[in-house]
Structure 1
Amino acid sequence: MKKIYGYARVSTKEQHLDRQLKALMDHGIDERDIVSDHASGASLERPGYAALKSTMLRDGDTLVVKSLDRLSRNKEHIIQELQYFKNRHIKIQVLDLPTTMIELPEGQQWVFDMINNILIEVLSSIAEQERLTIKQRQAEGIAVAKEKGIHLGRPVITYPPNWEHIYQQWEDKKITAVAAMKQLGLKRSTFYKLASQFRANRKS
């Protein structure tokens, strides 16, 4: 029996899938047949998408996405994936691309295939350009932040005021690591990270 699956994707955990999920369910797809990912559109290595391709989609099935860039934001990947599905007789429907939603009798489909190929070429180029623009803006933002002396990423861990004294006691085996952590007010992972960093700095 032929099945219809939906696929939704957002780039980060902070973004929401609600709009895509609603559109797919409004199209008549059961929520249990919708697979989603919180992953970048620059890569095809996504757990949900991989499961769709390897264990769920079969010859004659249909995969529905809200927009073409949910498959990928890389033009080469989009064309590659569309060819992959075509070779396996899996139909791709894009809700934002109405011509992919039309069912025509055999022999007339070539007209819409031609139209879709043109639209896909344009839309995949736009999706890739958006990805490159976002990447460039991020790089520019990081450069500006560095110029202003703003630290990006995880906060830098600093040594507690009594670090050297407590550390030396621990190194001389006068106190346990647990006692040292307690006196320094540090978590286990932070304590050992600082200890490793401290040793390396003393050797250099």
Structure 2
Amino acid sequence: MIKLIGYARISTRQQDTDVQRAELLAAGVRRDDLYIDQGSSGARAACPQFYASLTALEPGDTFVIATLDRLGQSTLNVLAFSKRLSGQGVELRVLDLGGGDVDTGTPTGSMLFTTMAALGQMEHEIKRERVLDSIDRRRRAGKNLGGRPRRITNRQIRNANRLIEAGEPTAQVARDFGMSRATFYRGARTLGLLPDQSGDETPESDGAS
């Protein structure tokens, strides 16, 4: 027998599922086929009724939720979830998606989810490009990218010193080697490439560099 399997979820026990329950029942879901997780965060272990509802699904059934956020997943994960249901012969129905009732079993619903897939992927790529651009700008500016501090070798200090002695600006050379001017001066003094200036990190002779 083809069934409508309904699922509702709330994030805290202080909230009420009455609205979701009423919407699902009005959509034709039988009370015996309604699964509700209360006080659940959306994490796998915290949603036993969600997985119980999936177990109850059979080919030809429709999985019904009030709104898309009840799945507690990102857009791309929801699309993958819908595709997985479709592979099992099950449709996904969202009672309020963009102000309307959407069923992936209909041409309109299928088209909407396809559009969501494109938009979700585009959003993912835009965010990725922004992160990469930010990393590239910070790297070119010689800023710390986070994580463990980079270890500067004696060889890098010596090579940097050669460039500086050849007339290259100290600040630019330090950036090129991924270190600060203070780091270069400390390393150069330790290696005896510069005279000890009693803790002064930036020699006066470097002023315009």
Alignment-derived partner of residue 22 in structure 2: 22
Q: Is the 8 A contact 1:44 1:72 kept in 2?
A: no
Residue 94 of structure 1 corresponds to 94
The residue type paired with residue 16 of structure 1 is: D
Deviation at 1:35, TM superposition (A): 0.3
Once the two structures are TM-superposed, the CA of residue 112 in structure 1 deviates from its matched residue by: 4.0
RMSD over aligned CA atoms reads 2.6
1:165 paired residue number: none
2:54 match: 53
CA distance in 2, matches of 1:11, 1:48: 13
Q: Specify the alignment match of 2:78 in structure 1.
A: 78
CA deviation after TM superposition for structure 1 residue 12, in Å: 1.2
- Who wins on radius of gyration, i.e. which is larger? 2
Percent identity over the alignment?
Answer: 28
Which residue does the alignment assign to 2:114? 117
The answer to whether the 8 A contact 1:68-1:123 is kept is: no
Residues 37 and 99 of structure 1: CA distance in aligned 2, closer, same or farther (over 3 Å): closer
Q: State the alpha-carbon separation in 2 of the partners of residues 15 and 123 from structure 1.
A: 29
Q: Which runs of 5+ in 2 are unaligned?
A: 124-209
Deviation string, structure 1 residues 102-153 (Cα, Å, up to 9, x no partner): 865xxxx2x542223224666898xxxxxxxxxxxxxxxxxxxxxxxxxxxx
What is the distance in 1 between the residues matched to 2:118 and 2:15? 27
1:2-39, Cα deviation, whole Å (9 max, x unpaired) = 11111000011111111100111111212221101121
Q: Which runs of no fewer than 5 residues in structure 1 stay unpaired?
A: 126-204
Q: Is the 8 A contact 1:100 1:116 kept in 2?
A: no
Instruction: Give the structure with the larger helix fraction.
Output: 1
Change (3 A) 1:65 1:71: same
Work out whether residues 5 and 64 of structure 1, in 8 Å CA contact, stay in contact via their aligned partners in 2: yes
Alignment partners' CA distance in 1, 2:53 and 2:59: 13
Query: CA 1:48/1:118 → structure 2, altered by over 3 Å: closer, same or farther?
Result: same
Structure with the larger RCO, 1 or 2 (CA within 8 Å, 6+ apart) = 1
Change (3 A) 1:53 1:101: closer
Equivalent residues, number: 118
